[in-house]
Each structure stands twice: as structure tokens, then as C-alpha cells.
Structure 1
Amino acid sequence: MTKTSLLARGMALAGALALFVGVASAPTAVAADSHVKIGVLTCAAGPSIGLLITSAEKIDCSFQPDATNTEHYSGRIRDFGLDVGITAGSVIIWGVFASQNDYAPGGLSGNYVGVSAEETLVLGLGANVLVGGSRESIILQPFSIQAQAGLNLAVGVSHMVLEER
């Protein structure tokens, strides 16, 4: 199989799975209706190499709450599923939703899980919807689509851990 053929099949798979991700994340979007937006989380990841079944990236994040001072977090995103390629780094921006009056400073610390899809051919896009936090009551929804540079195809389940710095 040629590289072009493999890339074409991968892109078709990414498109189909992106549609699945959109449908699969619909209940999360509805769940966000019972939550209020409390701020924006911006995370930067360095270069990464997809190892077919899994990949892991260290991230540095800043959370800008709507009502208090900026909080800083560090962590790791790990993807399980198809992940092939190399990226030069990425920035992900999420809207952060919590139950009303349910957030305390440092409350984003914890584990998050969700579905993800991304496709990169020089410059690319991806989306991740994650649920978790210190009391598993935080919803992170893509506020801005993930932007990255490189050559990569990834679809699967994401696990993210955040720790307050």
C-alpha cells in the first residue's frame, strides 16, 4: 500500500470518526445545559509522535475563570486508539462548564476522559470533549478547535490529568 493510499484511507476514516465524535458528544452538549460556563482553559503541548495505539503529551495550561484570578495547571493528555504521525505542538482551548456554585479554586485538578479526533496535514484541526475534574463535575468543551502543525491522524479515547501548579 502506498503512502498516498494509506493517507487517503486515514483521512476518510478520520472524517467518518469525526462524524461519530460529533454524534457521540451530543449528550455531553446537552449535559452542559445543566452547567454554567465558568471560564476558559488554554493548554499548550509540545511536539509528539503517535505510536499507532497510544500517544502521550505533557501540557501546560492556564485557566481564566470568569470571576477570579488565573489558575495554572500542568498535566498530561494520553490518547488511546489510532494515532499515527508527528506534530510540532498544539494549542487547545476549552470552554469550562461546572454546576452552578460548584467550583472552588484548584477545582480543575483531576482526571478527565472523553472522545477525540484530529487530522493534520501540515496544519490541522482536532476536537476533544472531556468530562472530569476534582469531583467529576467539570465539562470541557472545545471553545476553539485544536490547532497544530505536522502530519498526524488520531481518533479514539482521550484521558487527561491536570494538577494545579
Structure 2
Amino acid sequence: MRRSTVLSAIAATMLTACVGAADAQQPAQRVQVGVLECRGGASIGFIVGSVTNLGCALRINGIPEDYYTAVIQKVGIDLGFTENTALAWTVFSPVAQPGRGDIAGNYVGVDASAAAIVGVGGNVLLGGSNNSIALQPLSVEGETGISVAAGLESLELRLGR
């Protein structure tokens, strides 16, 4: 029990530091364009990392959905398993209406999550087209399973379907 409290404190500290850094790095010209929602199946933590495959949809008001495939790789403490994962990020872009596939690319950030039957987590990711896209301020992550994770995360987002 004490170990999970310490891990939670470390994860919260890492997440807070990353949010502050991301806010400081976000130029004023980025505008909120929509929401990226992703869903995936089972994931197993391998103590020092995990890999999760997701299907995603970018939702922007007045524009047809843009579909993507995503692979999330985590490095750090990652113990347990999840049956389902759902994530949602607010997308910030240098243009108000990005074109099809414009948010595809590689993103990096920190991750913290915990689940005991049902769980939550959050992460901040920066990257995409010329590192101009921000997925933030925090993703909302819903999981079913038993797990705890904290560490670095990368997201490879590719145009799909």
C-alpha cells in the first residue's frame, strides 16, 4: 500500500512538472481545434514499459471526422493489465482547421495512471507536424483492469481507416 502511495506521488509530481513545461512552451498562436478520442483493447505492463494500439478519431465542429491509428509506448514503471483503454485530448494547432492527416506524427510526454477495476490517468504530449501540435492540457484516460504506471510516453499517430 505504501509503495502505491509513493508511486502515485511521483507520478503526480512528474505530471505537474510536464503541464507547467508544456504551458510555458505553447506559443500564443496555437488555437484549440477539436478533440482527439482514442480507444483500444487489452494492454499488459511489462514492469519497465508497455505498448498499446488504439483507433482514434479527430472531432472538429463542422468537419467530418478524421481517423487515425495510434501506438503508445511507455517507458518507466508499468505494472498490471488493462482490458480497455479510452483517451481524449484537446488538440491545439497553429491553424484553426487542420487538413486531413495534419496532426499525424510522433508525440512525446509523461504519463501517470492507476486502475483498480476502473481507473484514471493523464498525460501531456507535444509533437505532430513539425512539432507544432499539442495534445493537452491533459488527456482523460479511462481504464478497466488493475495497473499502475508512471514514466515517459511516446505516441505515434498515423492517418488511418
Task: State the TM-score, normalizing by the size of structure 2.
Answer: 0.90
Letter in 2 for 1:29: D
Q: Is 1:75 paired with 2:70?
A: yes
Aligned counterpart, 2:99: 104
Deviation string, structure 1 residues 6-39 (Cα, Å, up to 9, x no partner): x540232123321331123212124446211011
Aligned counterpart, 1:157: 152
Whether the 8 Å CA contact 1:96–1:139 is kept in 2: the answer is yes
Select which of 28, 31, 39 maps to 2:34: 39
Whether the 8 Å CA contact 1:121–1:152 is kept in 2: the answer is yes
Q: Which runs of 5 or more structure 1 residues have no equivalent in the other structure?
A: 1-6
Distance in 2, matches of 1:71 and 1:44, equals: 14
Q: Which runs of 5 or more structure 2 residues have no equivalent in the other structure?
A: none
Select which of 2, 5, 10 maps to 1:11: 5
Aligned counterpart, 2:112: 117
Aligned counterpart, 1:126: 121
Distance in 1, matches of 2:49 and 2:120, equals: 19
Aligned counterpart, 2:81: 86
Percent of aligned positions that are identical: 31
Aligned counterpart, 1:139: 134
Task: State the TM-score, normalizing by the size of structure 1.
Answer: 0.88
Whether the 8 Å CA contact 1:46–1:88 is kept in 2: the answer is yes
Count the aligned residue pairs. 159
Whether the 8 Å CA contact 1:93–1:142 is kept in 2: the answer is no
Distance in 2, matches of 1:144 and 1:129, equals: 7
Aligned counterpart, 1:3: none
- Residues 45 and 142 of structure 1, relative CA distance in 2, 3 Å threshold: farther
Distance in 1, matches of 2:98 and 2:86, equals: 24
